[in-house]
């Protein structure tokens, strides 16, 4: 009866800001801006704040100028993930085929709901969004269409707090007029390249030869015209089968610095947190990357691969130590430091030269972890001990 797939894309509006307004009712109707670090950017802005031109990814300093009366908040990620969990729980009551693509966004396959709910899919989608709105008190938008790409683009048109159903036959009359930049995955740079070749709208892209677009954008571009024409057959994936590929963390310093021992210290603190997460997840990483961003915003990274995945603090610190001299080559002020652990796999507890007794390093790390789990992460500072007597100077 329903041979076309029908996919609903759901996206919460100004999610972080909306949750804050639910948790703090006195903020309702006010310009709420999540992101309070003056060296950072806005994570979310309520619609009241957007009226002043504030939007996410905007520097906080700029947002303060545009909206001086706004309420600037530090993000409360624990609360956001709890609201996220509840939102997806509601979605799964309507269809088992739910794919979460981020904390506030996901796809629902409603192809089979006609029989299940004794109602047309549009009606089902509408009820689902209403239940989220009423139960959680936040605004959500939805796009219902024949493919993931069309559904997501429809959501963009439905915002704020709306639902747009694009019947498969009519979808591309609507979407074809949009600029190519509205296609998910086509950002500023890609849009500029396409515009340079006269490809302005989604319809232009759909009419372009795959080989041409592939030559402009690389291999992934070859399929883009087909997807733009509505031939996007990616299924809704219920299982997030593939596990996490990397663990990373970065920190922007309070001010730019040439104090390289401070930078090393920050890198080791970050590594401590990441390796703790690896151990908690029972994982290891075989590649360690150190990233440095300079005051002029240029960035550079250096990495080392090990033979086997590890989660031992001492091994990761030793890698960082070697990377530091390679990454920091010129005497420019540094703005940001980051560490990434990738090549995730089952950890191999191979002891290094300094720890001949098998398993000792791991037991030491886990002992420290146990203390942290009881008394807080900062109750143990391995980085401090490691860095003692390791003063470092640029050659």
Partner DNA sequence: TCTGGGGTCCTAGGACCC
Which residue numbers are catalytic?
A: 105
- Please say whether the beta carbons of 302 and 287 come within 8 A: no
Least distance from C-beta 308 to DNA, angstroms? 10
Q: Look at the alpha carbons of 365, 371, 376, 382 in this order and tell me if their dihedral is positive or negative.
A: negative
The answer to whether 179 contacts DNA (rule: CB under 7 A) is: no
Question: What angle, 0 to 180 degrees and rounded to 10, lies between the N-to-C axes of helices 77-94 and 121-136?
Answer: 150
Taking the complex as a whole, the smallest distance from the CB of residue 40 to DNA amounts, in Å, to: 3
Nearest distance in Å: CB 193, DNA: 8
Q: What does the per-residue mask of binding to DNA show for 109-128, with x meaning CB under 7 A?
A: --------------------
Site membership for DNA, residue 57 (CB under 7 A): yes
Question: Could you count the other beta carbons within 10 Å of the beta carbon of residue 356?
Answer: 8
Q: Of the ranges 160-168, 228-236, 300-308, 349-357, which one interacts with DNA (CB under 7 A)?
A: 300-308
Question: Mapping DSSP to helix (H, G, I), strand (E, B) and coil, where does residue 300 land?
Answer: strand
Which of helix, strand or coil describes residue 55? coil
Provide CB contacts within 8 A for 284, sequence distance 6+. 278, 308, 309, 310, 311, 344, 345, 346, 347, 348
Q: Given the complex with DNA, which of 30 and 39 has the nearer CB atom?
A: 39
Per CB under 7 A, 215 contacts DNA: no
**20 lines the binding site for DNA (CB under 7 A):** no
**242 near DNA, judged by CB under 7 A:** yes
Q: Which of 18, 21, 190, 227 binds DNA (CB under 7 A)?
A: 190
Q: How far is the CB of 116 from DNA (least distance, A)?
A: 28
Q: Does 13 bind DNA (CB under 7 A)?
A: no
Q: Which is nearer to DNA, 126 or 249 (CB)?
A: 249
105 binds DNA (CB under 7 A): yes
When binding is defined by CB under 7 A, the residue of 30, 47, 50, 59 that contacts DNA is 59
> What pairs with residue 108 in β-bridges?
8, 98
Give the number of C-alpha atoms closer than 13 A to the C-alpha of residue 224, restricted to the C-beta side.
30
Does 161 interact with DNA (rule: CB under 7 A)? no
- Assess 39 for contact with DNA (CB under 7 A): yes
Rounded Cα distance between 123 and 127, Å, is 6
CB of 192 to DNA, least distance (A): 8
> Does the protein bind DNA through residue 257 (CB under 7 A)?
no
3-class secondary-structure state, position 292: strand
Sheet holding 299-310, edge to edge: 246-257, 334-345, 284-294, 299-310
Out of 87, 163, 186, 271, which residue is the one contacting DNA (CB under 7 A)?
186
Residue 287 lies near DNA (rule: CB under 7 A): yes
Task: With both helix axes pointing from N to C terminus, report the angle between 260-281 and 313-327 in degrees, rounded to the nearest 10.
Answer: 140
Q: Residue 292's closest CA among 320, 313, 273, 311?
A: 320
Q: Which is nearer to DNA, 178 or 304 (CB)?
A: 304
220 makes contact with DNA (CB under 7 A):
yes
Give 152: exposed, middle or buried? Use CB within 10 Å, 0-12, 13-18, 19+. Answer: buried
How far is Cα 52 from Cα 211, in angstroms, rounded to an integer?
43
Q: Identify which of residues 123 and 296 has a Cβ nearer to DNA in the complex.
A: 296
Residue closer to DNA, measured from CB, 124 or 224: 224
What is d(CA 68, CA 206) in angstroms, rounded to the nearest whole number?
Answer: 44
Q: Which member of 81, 135, 299, 329 binds DNA (CB under 7 A)? A: 299
Residues that bind DNA (CB under 7 A): 37-41, 43, 56-57, 59, 61-62, 65, 101-105, 152, 184-191, 218-220, 242, 244-252, 286-287, 289, 296-297, 299-305, 326, 335-336, 338, 343
């Amino acid at each position: 009866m329903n041979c076309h797939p029908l996919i609903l894309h759901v996206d919460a509006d100004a999610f972080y800001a909306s949750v804050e307004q639910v948790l703090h009712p006195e903020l309702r109707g006010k310009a709420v801006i999540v992101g309070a670090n003056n060296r950072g950017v806005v994570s979310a802005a309520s619609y009241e704040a957007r009226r002043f031109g504030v939007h996410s990814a905007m520097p906080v300093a700029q947002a303060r100028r545009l909206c001086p009366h706004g309420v600037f908040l530090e993000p409360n990620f624990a609360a956001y993930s709890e609201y996220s969990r509840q939102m997806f729980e509601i979605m799964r009551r309507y269809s088992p085929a739910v794919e979460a693509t981020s904390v506030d966004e996901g796809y629902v396959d409603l192809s089979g709901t006609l029989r299940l709910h004794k109602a047309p899919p549009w009606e089902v989608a509408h009820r689902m969004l209403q239940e989220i709105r009423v139960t959680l008190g936040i605004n959500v938008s939805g796009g219902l269409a024949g493919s993931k790409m069309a559904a997501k683009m429809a959501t963009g048109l439905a915002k704020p707090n709306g639902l747009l159903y694009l019947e498969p036959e009519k979808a591309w009359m609507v979407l074809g007029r949009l600029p190519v930049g509205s296609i998910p995955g086509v950002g500023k740079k890609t849009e500029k390249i396409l515009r340079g070749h006269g490809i302005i709208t989604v319809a232009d892209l759909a009419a372009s030869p795959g080989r041409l677009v592939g030559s402009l954008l690389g291999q992934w571009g070859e399929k883009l015209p087909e997807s733009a024409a509505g031939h996007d057959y990616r299924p809704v994936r219920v299982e997030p089968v593939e596990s996490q590929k990397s663990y990373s963390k970065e920190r922007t310093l309070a001010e730019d610095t040439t104090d390289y021992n401070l930078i090393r210290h920050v890198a080791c603190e970050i590594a401590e947190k990441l390796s703790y997460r690896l151990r908690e997840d029972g994982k290891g990483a075989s590649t360690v990357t150190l990233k440095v961003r300079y005051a002029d915003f240029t960035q550079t990274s250096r990495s080392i691969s090990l033979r086997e995945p590890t989660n031992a603090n001492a091994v990761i610190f030793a890698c960082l130590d070697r990377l530091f001299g390679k990454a920091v080559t010129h005497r420019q002020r540094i703005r940001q430091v980051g560490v990434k652990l990738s090549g995730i796999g089952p950890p191999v507890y191979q002891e290094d030269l300094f720890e001949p007794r098998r398993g000792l390093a791991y037991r030491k790390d886990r002992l420290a972890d146990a203390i942290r789990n009881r008394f807080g992460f900062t109750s143990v500072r391995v980085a401090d001990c490691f860095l003692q007597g390791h003063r470092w100077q640029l050659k």
